């Protein structure tokens, strides 16, 4: 059956990615990573960006059950129209622009969450024997925050730092039934992708926090949460990530109930004993 919406199209493309030929993979990556651009590009422009002939785009659309390239464009435009309901643009100061962009990022991030999938991820993070988190370079701070918050409500949470070329050593500690959470946005750090692929091969539960369905992390993740990272300047925004990991840690705490509160109580007693905080 042909996809009737962009989410259906994205799901179909993700399912087919591993088996696509090189040219088809480039087309799929373009549709997944840049639906906004596709909504307004001609077939020739899209073919040039994907490095294929226009006829390849027509055949690709047909393989999805669509009538042709215009049908792909319409799905992307429908997605834009839906997203536009969440976003409001305003032209004020640079500070207001950044704040406004982050507000839109938050709205889009939480609008993309599937409630059932969200609950499944929370249950995994709450019940797994151990949770391992990796995020490098610009995503290191997000990985630290998630590790820190999860460790407040459950034991055996570890951030993989991959410092000094020690990633292979750290991956040896992955255990059956554990969860690995991998965090990366474009440009995707190679070690993060490799760690997630390794964990998937080892049979761990894998969760990706990333920026779009074309991310290489999505291919190796059992569960993927997408975060809008558009920035008001050249810098990508991590505001959506911060809000998402805080919400997820809260969801895990709710799932754990009394066990989570017990972990928090023990942590507070240790903090008091060692005088970690002033006052």
Mean of pLDDT values over 134-147: 96
* pLDDT at position 92: 47
Q: Is residue 124 part of a domain?
A: yes
- 215-254 confidence digits (pLDDT tens): 999 999 999 999 999 876 667 899 999 999 999 999 999 9
On whether both 73 and 146 belong to a single domain, the answer is no
Average model confidence (pLDDT) across the chain: 89
Q: Is the dihedral of CA 96, 98, 102, 105 positive or negative?
A: positive
On whether both 194 and 252 belong to a single domain, the answer is yes
CA distance 41 to 230: 20
Residue 164 tokens, joined: 């000094």
Q: Is residue 23 part of a domain?
A: yes
Would the pLDDT of 124 be above 70? yes
- 14-28 confidence digits (pLDDT tens): 999 999 999 999 999
Burial of 143 (0-12, 13-18, 19+ CB in 10 A): buried
CATH number of the domain that 64 lies in? 1.10.10.10
CA distance 154 to 157: 7
CATH number of the domain that 248 lies in? 3.40.50.10490
* pLDDT at position 88: 47
Q: Say which residue the tokens 């994907």 belong to.
A: 50
Phi, psi at 219, each rounded to 5°: -65, -30
On whether both 48 and 115 belong to a single domain, the answer is no
pTM: 0.70
């Amino acid at each position: 059956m042909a996809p009737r919406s962009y989410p259906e199209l994205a799901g179909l493309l993700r399912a087919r990615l591993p088996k696509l030929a090189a040219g088809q993979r480039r087309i799929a990556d373009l549709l997944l990573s840049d639906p906004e651009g596709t909504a307004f590009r001609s077939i020739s422009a899209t073919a040039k960006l994907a490095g294929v002939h226009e006829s390849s785009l027509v055949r690709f659309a047909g393989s999805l059950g669509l009538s042709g390239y215009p049908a792909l464009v319409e799905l992307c435009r429908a997605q834009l129209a839906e997203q536009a309901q969440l976003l409001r643009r305003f032209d004020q100061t640079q500070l207001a622009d950044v704040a406004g962009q982050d507000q839109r990022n938050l709205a889009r991030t939480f609008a993309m969450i599937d409630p059932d999938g969200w609950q499944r991820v929370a249950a995994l993070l709450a019940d797994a024997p151990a949770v391992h988190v990796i995020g490098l370079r610009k995503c290191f701070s997000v990985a630290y925050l998630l590790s820190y918050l999860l460790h407040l409500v459950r034991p055996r949470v570890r951030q993989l730092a991959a410092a000094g070329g020690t990633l292979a050593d750290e991956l040896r500690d992955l255990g059956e039934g554990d969860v690995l959470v991998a965090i990366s946005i474009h440009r995707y750090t190679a070690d993060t992708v490799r760690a997630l692929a390794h964990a998937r091969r080892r049979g761990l539960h894998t969760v990706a926090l990333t920026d779009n369905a074309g991310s290489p992390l999505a291919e190796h993740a059992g569960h993927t949460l997408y975060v809008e990272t558009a920035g008001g300047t050249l810098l990508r925004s991590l505001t959506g990530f911060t809000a998402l990991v805080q919400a997820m840690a809260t969801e895990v705490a709710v799932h754990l109930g009394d066990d989570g509160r017990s972990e928090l109580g023990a942590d507070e007693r240790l903090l008091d004993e060692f005088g970690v905080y002033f006052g």
